[in-house]
Amino acid sequence: MFYKSLLLAKQKLKEGYSVADVKNEIDKAFTPETKTALEYLELADSINLNTLDNVSDGNQPILCIAGYIGEVRLIDNMYLD
């Protein structure tokens, strides 16, 4: 679920969707019915990890995700390039 969310977010951002719209779409997939909870999905500058409001703001943007499957906390990340 987390990896697929990163892939979808990456695709949507490359298609020109806003970071806010992508976050909203990804957040909808994490529900009590799937026993998952999204803690955060952020686009960040890979050099200093400052969050970004759009893809062109940073140096080599990276998507970062964290959340829970049941009691287990998972984190992952993916470069946009």
pLDDT (0 to 100) of residue 40: 96
CB of 54 closer than 8 Å to CB of 29: no
Taking the mean position of all CA atoms in its chain, how far away is CA 51?
Answer: 11
Q: Calculate mean pLDDT across residues 32-60.
A: 90
Percent of the chain with pLDDT over 70: 99
pLDDT (0 to 100) of residue 32: 85
9 vs 43: CA distance, rounded Å:
10
9 vs 51: CA distance, rounded Å:
15
pTM for the structure as a whole: 0.89
Q: List, in sequence order, every beta strand (DSSP E) within 1-81.
A: 36-45, 61-69, 72-79
Q: Calculate mean pLDDT across residues 58-76.
A: 93
pLDDT (0 to 100) of residue 74: 97
